[in-house]
């Protein structure tokens, strides 16, 4: 069964959202590098790569269902932040926004009775639970430790372990 036009358009919009997410996280990585937090930057670069992988998963899905990927422009991401806590407040808010986008896609698939899409979208629903939990956990640690001091340096070292 081919993708309906409505579903194809919605998935194409989500591809744009995933690519924009990668761009936002890459900008956050650059900011973290600029304030000498290489671990935070590595974490954000890894997040960038993850968002690119999500975009490509949607890309492949559209093609596997006989659809056509149509790419749109991506807005310039923010480049300045008020420290690492602000970065992760914005990260959590962005992940919550993306969760809403995924839920909207899922709703369209239900409406269209597109059961093949539901299977793929369930993976993204589950992924967003993990994304929000991770961002929220890091934000909680930052709120406890603050944006300066020994605890921040320890967290930076811990985040470096994710690689990028």
Burial class (CB in 10 A: 0-12, 13-18, 19+), 80: exposed
Please state the separation of Cα 42 from the chain's center in Å. 15
pLDDT of the residue at 146: 82
pLDDT of the residue at 26: 98
pLDDT of the residue at 82: 96
How many CB atoms are closer than 10 A to CB 70? Answer: 12
Q: Give the mean model confidence (pLDDT) for residues 142-150.
A: 87
pLDDT of the residue at 1: 76
Instruction: Enter the pTM of the model.
Output: 0.94
Query: Does residue 163 have a pLDDT over 80?
Result: no
Query: Does residue 55 have a pLDDT over 80?
Result: yes
Q: Give the mean model confidence (pLDDT) for residues 126-147.
A: 94
CATH (residue range 5-159): 1.20.1260.10
pLDDT of the residue at 67: 96
Q: Give the mean model confidence (pLDDT) for residues 11-38.
A: 98
Dihedral over Cα of 66, 99, 25, 21: its sign: positive
Model confidence pLDDT, tens digit, residues 97-115: 999 999 999 999 999 999 9
Query: Does residue 50 have a pLDDT over 60?
Result: yes
pLDDT of the residue at 98: 98
């Amino acid at each position: 069964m081919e993708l309906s036009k409505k579903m194809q358009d919605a998935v194409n919009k989500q591809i744009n959202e995933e690519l924009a997410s990668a761009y936002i996280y890459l900008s956050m990585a650059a900011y973290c590098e600029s304030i000498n937090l290489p671990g935070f930057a590595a974490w954000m670069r890894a997040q960038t790569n993850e968002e690119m992988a999500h975009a490509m998963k949607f890309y492949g899905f559209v093609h596997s269902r006989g659809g056509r990927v149509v790419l749109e422009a991506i807005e310039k991401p923010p480049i300045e932040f008020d420290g690492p806590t602000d970065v992760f407040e914005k990260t959590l808010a962005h992940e919550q926004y993306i969760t809403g986008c995924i839920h909207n896609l899922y709703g369209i698939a239900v409406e269209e009775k597109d059961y093949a899409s539901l299977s793929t979208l369930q993976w993204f629903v589950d992924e967003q639970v993990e994304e929000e939990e991770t961002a929220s956990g890091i934000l909680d640690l930052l709120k406890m430790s603050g944006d300066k001091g020994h605890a921040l340096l320890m967290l930076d070292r811990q985040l470096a372990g994710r690689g990028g």
